[in-house]
Structure 1
Amino acid sequence: MPDLPPDDQRFLDAYTAASGGEAQSNPRPRQGSLASAVPRYLASDSFAALSNETRSSRRRMLDEIRRNHGTGLVRDLRTKHVEAALSKFSGHARNNRLKVWRAFGKWLEDVYKIEDPAQNVKKSPVPKSDGHVPWSKKEVKKFREFWPIGTSERLAFEVIFFTGARISDAFRLGQGNVDQEGWLVFNQQKTGGEVAIPFSRPLPDFASGMQSDLQYLRAALDARSDKHITWITTAFGTSRSVKAAGQWFAAKARAAGIHGRTAHGLRKSRSQALAEAGGNSVQIGAWTGHESLSEIERYIRGLNKRKVLSGTETEQKVPTSATKVPTQPKKTGESNA
């Protein structure tokens, strides 16, 4: 994009061409129209403050707004227009677009001095769901038996399963993320928060039973024929695309006879395992990168309560007060990582 103000016509023409249109064959957007407001919002500090992953998904929906409603003037935008734009969708698809409209609407209110057109739009009711299902021990064993050490499928599994990282983070990890003290350190793409997981250092006492999972991960890493910047690569030795990674992994699980399970389900499995082992909310959050009590509660829902109660004397897993969970462990080797 040219280094020009976002309301400069040359910037708008370049944006139109870059998003699939041709500036020379399309009429220039009217000043004050949604077609001119969308690229201004995309160039704003408000949009830049979002994570890379969020920007990528929202950019597509904003382009949808520009194409379908670009001729309308911002000053005429009302709640009924947003509701009409969302009426073509239902459930999660509608709610995801409503999130975009709400963020866009707040920006329009601030920049164009109009009343936020999305603030009174209600979300669609959706069936309650636990989302991604945690993997059972039998499913973990089945995947390991089908995909042996030395395969890229097994390596991806062990990285995701031990770290409990989102797949968008797991596929960016490599030896460069291991610091001198033996912590596997990375910043989450979704939240920007730092995570540090014990890797080449003793595991905290409550997680000592996870040593076998760490050994599986190290064995998978040692079995790589070629070493690259990132651990998980394609057959051609290149870093795997994060966008297609989730579908790729789910397909490999199905090939092993495991249906309805995802990479994110492994993240839930690690969270529950940490709770069942005696980890408190601070320790779980430090390992998985969850920053609030509500997130941790949601991820450990359905854990084996008998294991929790029959374990060693540890702190209660989930405190009753809503506290912010720190994501950066102390560097003294204590067990809050």
Structure 2
Amino acid sequence: MKGVRLEGIKVVRKPGGKVYKYRRIRGQLVPLPDLPENHPDFMRAYIEAGDFTPRDDSLGALIGMFLASDDFKTRKLTTQKVWRRRLAYMQIEYGMAPAPKLTTVHIEKALRKLPPGAARSERTIWRALMAYAKAEHWRTDNPAKDAEVRTLRSTPHAPWTREDVEAFRTAWPHGTPQRQAFEVLHWTGARCVDAVRIGWQGVGPDGLLTFTQEKTGGEAMVPITAVADRRLERDRKEFIHAASPELQFILTEYGRARSVKGLSNLIAAAARKAGLTGRTAHGLRKTRAIALAELLWTPHQIGAWTGHETLQEITEYTRAANKRALLLGNSDGNSGGAVVHFRGKTEG
């Protein structure tokens, strides 16, 4: 009937273009034919799906219970959003499987369908789901606890070199959304999930931007109107010039906040157009940590800026710091320039 939409329909489009349709019944997805919703065969299948009774011990039923539980609802909203999408996929792929009979091997087979990074994130969901199943006495163990993720050599987010930074600035002048997003990320060293929400409202009378990180819950403090180090002044002024004067530092050309994925994609695409390959938004976070290390900042000082909570994390991020700059300093007026005594002489 015109203007009437069927309830509980879920449409999944695979990368190859194949479309799968389902009706959600009591926490489980029942397959439907890939036909228009007003097609007689589709309507017949939809009605018959209403009589479907999911297995009481099915993974789909367990996922439905988990989504309605306090265990799920007390997690961060960003976590809930990501997990809800992945749990819906798990319902589609494995919803009919008996949850009490799942083994570590079954879960590892599911994880092998994903790249290593995504598999590690998915394993976290499986572990939480199976822990919930154990707490609800569906199982006596957690088969996801010992599930292993295949290890492949992966390229981490590479830090940007000074040449990369200048090439980007040349390609994207002030006034473009790309330059605004770049300078905010470059100066603050914030993750995209934090960069999309930080702004002038978080800057205190001391000139420091203070915010709680979404990923870790830890605090980060970044000098905004305060001068942290004269050798960083150029980058700070570039940031001040580029940042939106509105409450948030990063906004679209329509004055709206960017999504986390949108910001990441914007930087990656802009870098490619500037002739830079393999440069990402998260790589700018490494760049800031390395720049501070080359100024001979202590790990604790770097951690206060970037929000890293352990010295080991900071060591990993600053491993690529220029060793010559660490010993002799760098007098280019941007990064480096520390005064140290070397072989009886004062070098600056």
Task: Report if TM-score (shorter chain) is over 0.5.
Answer: yes
Write 1 or 2 for the structure with the bigger share of strand: 2
Structure 2 residue aligned with 1:211: 233
Counterpart AA for 1:76: K
Q: Write the distance in 1 (CA, Å) between the matches of 2:53 and 2:266.
A: 41
Structure 2 residue aligned with 1:299: 317
1:158 and 2:183 equivalent?
yes
SS at match of 2:129: helix
1:51 CA displacement: 3.9
Structure 2 residue aligned with 1:59: 84
Write 1 or 2 for the structure with the bigger share of helix: 1
Structure 1 residue aligned with 2:333: none
SS at match of 1:216: helix
Structure 1 contact 29–36 (Cα < 8 Å) conserved: yes
Instruction: Note the alpha carbon deviations across 1:12-49, whole angstroms, 9 max, x for none.
Output: 857669xx9x8993524332321121132233344345
Structure 1 contact 174–229 (Cα < 8 Å) conserved: yes
Structure 2 residue aligned with 1:231: 249
Runs of at least 5 residues in structure 1 that lack an aligned partner in the other structure: 1-11, 315-337
Q: Write the distance in 2 (CA, Å) between the matches of 1:24 and 1:156.
A: 51
The counterpart of 2:111, out of the listed 70, 80, 86, is 86
SS at match of 2:278: coil
Query: 24-33 vs 166-175, which deviates more?
Result: 24-33
Residues 31 and 14 (structure 1 numbering): CA distance in 2 closer, same or farther, change over 3 Å?
Answer: closer
1:279 and 2:297 equivalent?
yes
Structure 1 residue aligned with 2:332: none
Q: How does 1:95-174 map to 2 (within 5 A)?
A: 95-112=120-137, 113-127=139-153, 129=155, 131-174=156-199
Aligned length: 293
Structure 2 contact 213–219 (Cα < 8 Å) conserved: yes
Runs of at least 5 residues in structure 2 that lack an aligned partner in the other structure: 1-23, 33-45, 330-337, 341-348
Q: Which has the higher contact order (CA 8 A, sep 6+)?
A: 1
SS at match of 1:124: coil
Q: Write the distance in 2 (CA, Å) between the matches of 1:244 and 1:259.
A: 18
Counterpart AA for 1:215: K
Structure 2 contact 289–302 (Cα < 8 Å) conserved: yes
Q: Write the distance in 1 (CA, Å) between the matches of 2:114 and 2:195.
A: 32
Moved over 6 A (4+): none
Structure 2 residue aligned with 1:176: 201
Structure 1 residue aligned with 2:57: 32
1:307 CA displacement: 1.0
Structure 1 residue aligned with 2:288: 270
Q: Write the distance in 2 (CA, Å) between the matches of 1:132 and 1:289.
A: 18
Residues 296 and 42 (structure 1 numbering): CA distance in 2 closer, same or farther, change over 3 Å?
Answer: farther
SS at match of 1:290: coil
TM-score normalised over the length of structure 1: 0.78
SS at match of 2:220: strand
Q: Write the distance in 2 (CA, Å) between the matches of 1:96 and 1:45.
A: 21
Structure 2 contact 202–209 (Cα < 8 Å) conserved: yes
Q: Write the distance in 1 (CA, Å) between the matches of 2:304 and 2:175.
A: 30
Cα RMSD (Å): 2.7
Q: Write the distance in 1 (CA, Å) between the matches of 2:182 and 2:339.
A: 32
